[in-house]
Structure 1
């Protein structure tokens, strides 16, 4: 009996030890998972802050760009960047410069958060596949692969937040003569759903998605490739011994990246905005076949919008608002990239956008 009791005691001790080991292993498994969740949250926060800060900084130029894109060519109110800003100030005051910015930030904050995070994940996945394909574990992302990762990030972020962009555009251009008077973001969403149906929230989605492929893709590809080139070549003493780029240098990289991306994708942005404004006779262009201002042009799709815009207003119409947009994009993209990296640094996450 004593022998059996001893065996039972030993068996119980073994079970307790095994349970303790299992609990220890479970805790070890939970720690990295918890760390990963925290890291994801920090990355999303950094991306959201970057989007909000950068977009608010250039809100007046953003509004002027949209007004230039959709104004009636036979009743010009906003003629150029400086004169356009002065006209808004004179007719609507300081608040007019930031009209729609609250809704814009409500869209851009999650958009930016998803975009930066999606780029990190896409670049890691693409790099892994590239390393497996080449058999070189030390291989790094090429500019073309970064372009692909950026395109994936742009498509995901655009699709996830597109209804907010639609609403922001409507609120930004509405006047006293607009068919609907939106009191705010949620009122605009409910009104569009009720009066025009769910599909109206995605008007212009196709050219938007096509547009973000070169726009966001080139932003990330040019920005990171420029940074890598500067770190490797160290021209003009722009990189210190620690191979870290200064804030001003990174701002310059972001400015170049933004300028390249928006120049390539801008015509698609004009088409998207016009498709969103269909039915707004005081916001959209009003032209007919004889070139006179008689009725609003109705667009049946992306190709039709391109065709009618070029036919009635010429190729230059596809670049309406490009100047204020260029002035806006240079600081906006630069501020977004640098703010993202700085916030991640403050939160204790790796600075580099992609590993």
Structure 2
């Protein structure tokens, strides 16, 4: 056994070595990076890349979904996914398929970065509280706890980037024939702020937050729970020698997660989009009983928007654009999850969301 003097000697040597290394870095003008800050930065970068890649891959379907959600029920232009994409291509060309994608990426990149990072931090906090409550240091996150962490992440990310989502919707819906032409993100933000006031930037925020709880929460909960089950049960022989799932399997888990989440939350997404368009005179018009047109319906809150939508167009209007959205969400969520994990691997971050 080492003596007290030996321990003190080793401690002193270690301290001297550490101080010497710090002094050397100082002389060279190099500041040792904070491990925590570096880890946070890598997580944010991975989340941002995942959001940008996944959203650009499905940009045409995203635009068609919004057009279907807000189009005039008395003047139907888009009658489905294939027909709608062909109509956009014919009337606006290839660029029309990606209209609003720059704004969308400008919103989704920080949104995705904040969402993934918030989920990781919320998961850590919830797991810490759960282990203290159960007095079991080996306890793991349950699907319900993952749902809660995902809901927290969704609310934080949605609230932080909501004005960008609001103007993205307007940039996506406007056409070359619209009297009002927003020239870009900044112009749209300043115009809406000047003409409609600060509160208009958060139109539809409540249904968005309510909708993001099941949507993002279920995305994370289903994705991680499916992965966890497949790895532990080794079902269908999908686990490799390193006890990992392949890219195709992870994509399938992400697709299942996206399908479940968006189906549950979709009506709230429709209401959110309509509330964002409310009061905008250049949005899709509504035909009155005398054949004249008027601006889009005004809504006195989320419940009123639900009631008027169902009364004027039927319950099915709450699921307008669901088909292209489903086709979009399946690859989008899958690509986002897998890209996030792959980028973190490339950046050398050991911990993944499932850890």
Does 2:253 match 1:277? no
In structure 2, the CA distance between the partners of 1:57 and 1:293, relative to structure 1 (3 Å rule), is farther
Equivalence for 1:322: 322
Contact 2:66 2:169 in 1 (8 A): yes
Equivalence for 1:59: 59
Equivalence for 1:78: 78
CA distance in 2, matches of 1:281, 1:316: 25
Equivalence for 1:232: 232
CA distance in 2, matches of 1:26, 1:222: 46
Equivalence for 1:131: 131
Equivalence for 2:3: none
CA distance in 2, matches of 1:204, 1:60: 23
Q: What is the TM-score when the length of structure 2 is the normalising length?
A: 0.90
Q: Structure 1, residues 51-72: CA drift from partner, whole Å, max 9, x if none? A: 0000000000000000000000
In structure 2, the CA distance between the partners of 1:244 and 1:129, relative to structure 1 (3 Å rule), is same
In structure 2, the CA distance between the partners of 1:177 and 1:116, relative to structure 1 (3 Å rule), is same
CA distance in 2, matches of 1:282, 1:194: 16
Q: Structure 1, residues 298-321: CA drift from partner, whole Å, max 9, x if none? A: 111110000000001000000000
In structure 2, the CA distance between the partners of 1:281 and 1:187, relative to structure 1 (3 Å rule), is closer
Equivalence for 1:203: 203
Runs of at least 5 residues in structure 1 that lack an aligned partner in the other structure = 1-16
CA distance in 2, matches of 1:293, 1:325: 32
Does 2:348 match 1:348? yes
Which deviates the most, 343-352 or 259-268?
A: 343-352
Equivalence for 2:302: 302
In structure 2, the CA distance between the partners of 1:292 and 1:302, relative to structure 1 (3 Å rule), is farther
CA deviation after TM superposition for structure 1 residue 197, in Å: 1.0
Q: Structure 1, residues 18-70: CA drift from partner, whole Å, max 9, x if none? A: xx77x84996xxx9970110010000000000000000000000000000000
CA distance in 1, matches of 2:336, 2:229: 20
Equivalence for 1:38: 38
Bigger Rg over Cα: 1
CA distance in 1, matches of 2:67, 2:57: 18
In structure 2, the CA distance between the partners of 1:109 and 1:227, relative to structure 1 (3 Å rule), is same
CA deviation after TM superposition for structure 1 residue 350, in Å: 2.1
In structure 2, the CA distance between the partners of 1:76 and 1:137, relative to structure 1 (3 Å rule), is same
Equivalence for 2:188: 188
Equivalence for 2:143: 143
Equivalence for 1:257: 257
Q: What is the TM-score when the length of structure 1 is the normalising length?
A: 0.90
In structure 2, the CA distance between the partners of 1:179 and 1:227, relative to structure 1 (3 Å rule), is same
